[in-house]
Chain A
Amino acid sequence: AQTVTQSQPEMSVQEAETVTLSCTYDTSENNYYLFWYKQPPSRQMILVIRQEAYKQQNATENRFSVNFQKAAKSFSLKISDSQLGDTAMYFCAFEFSGNQFYFGTGTSLTVIP
């Protein structure tokens, strides 16, 4: 069975600072994808970043980057230069078969002005 764990229910960061959200997962699969989705108060699910497990290089998207440690089954999200618009719920997700995403329970991030 695949599980995704986000151990930080809530986090806060000062505007312009850097914050790291943690995610660990458990799987016996070798090829898979990992994702971070952002859910603002509108509740829309917005893709933030994607990582392919076979790639050793960590994915980056502007201010967002990941630290992917395959052996440790860890996939953390780093947000640099935090902005007020980053305030949202962040979900880590895992996919290996194309049939479903396995989501973590989410981390609520508040950016403080």
Chain B
Amino acid sequence: EPEVTQTPSHQVTQMGQEVILRCVPISNHLYFYWYRQILGQKVEFLVSFYNNEISEKSEIFDDQFSVERPDGSNFTLKIRSTKLEDSAMYFCASSERGAWGFADTQYFGPGTRLTVL
């Protein structure tokens, strides 16, 4: 069964450094997402991406964050200058078009645990 993959599984970085989290969505999916989950808290939406552009973003997704689909398979999240509070699990998800013309079920990757020291 196709699945979303994410690399690395765990990333440790120093505060102020740039990190790139990578995701390979399911191949025929058209919608892509990033979420984050601070330990012990709920999953929070960061950004959605469709047709090579951002569809929606949350307040969390400020100028320090960017997303890119550099080729036909990868979907990346970049954090330019990491802060301590960016420490969290980051989930990528993808979805195909549903019955009403927009996205349907989102399938999540296993997550990347980001630790900022």
> For the complex, is B95 an interface residue (Cβ under 8 Å from A)?
yes
Dominant secondary structure at the B interface? strand
Interface centre among B33, B37, B95, B106 (most CB of A within 10 A): B106
Q: Mark B43-60, 1 if CB is under 8 A from A, else 0.
A: 111001010000110100
Nearest Cβ on chain B to A37's Cβ, whole angstroms: 8
Interface centre among A42, A50, A101 (most CB of B within 10 A): A101
Please determine whether B48 and A100 come into contact, CB atoms closer than 8 angstroms.
yes
Please determine whether B48 and A99 come into contact, CB atoms closer than 8 angstroms.
yes
A40-70 residues at the B interface, CB under 8 angstroms: 42-47, 50, 52
The contact of B103 among A50, A98, A105, by CB within 8 Å, is A98
Nearest Cβ on chain A to B41's Cβ, whole angstroms: 8
Please determine whether B111 and A43 come into contact, CB atoms closer than 8 angstroms.
yes
Please determine whether B111 and A100 come into contact, CB atoms closer than 8 angstroms.
no
Nearest Cβ on chain A to B25's Cβ, whole angstroms: 14
> For the complex, is A91 an interface residue (Cβ under 8 Å from B)?
yes
Q: Bound complex: CA of A47 vs CA of B89, how far in Å?
A: 18
Please determine whether A91 and B42 come into contact, CB atoms closer than 8 angstroms.
yes
Interface centre among A33, A42, A102 (most CB of B within 10 A): A33
Q: Bound complex: CA of A33 vs CA of B106, how far in Å?
A: 11
> For the complex, is B107 an interface residue (Cβ under 8 Å from A)?
yes
A105 to B, closest residue via Cβ: B42
- B-to-A contact residues, CB < 8 Å: 31, 33, 35, 37, 41-45, 48, 50, 55-56, 58, 89, 91, 93, 95, 98-100, 102-108, 110-111, 113
- A-to-B contact residues, CB < 8 Å: 31, 33, 35, 37, 42-47, 50, 52, 91, 95, 97-106
26 A-B pairs with CB atoms under 8 Å apart are A33-B98, A35-B105, A37-B108, A42-B110, A44-B110, A45-B91, A46-B108, A47-B105, A91-B43, A97-B56, A97-B102, A98-B50, A98-B95, A98-B103, A99-B48, A99-B56, A100-B45, A100-B48, A100-B58, A101-B33, A101-B35, A103-B42, A103-B44, A104-B42, A105-B41, A106-B42
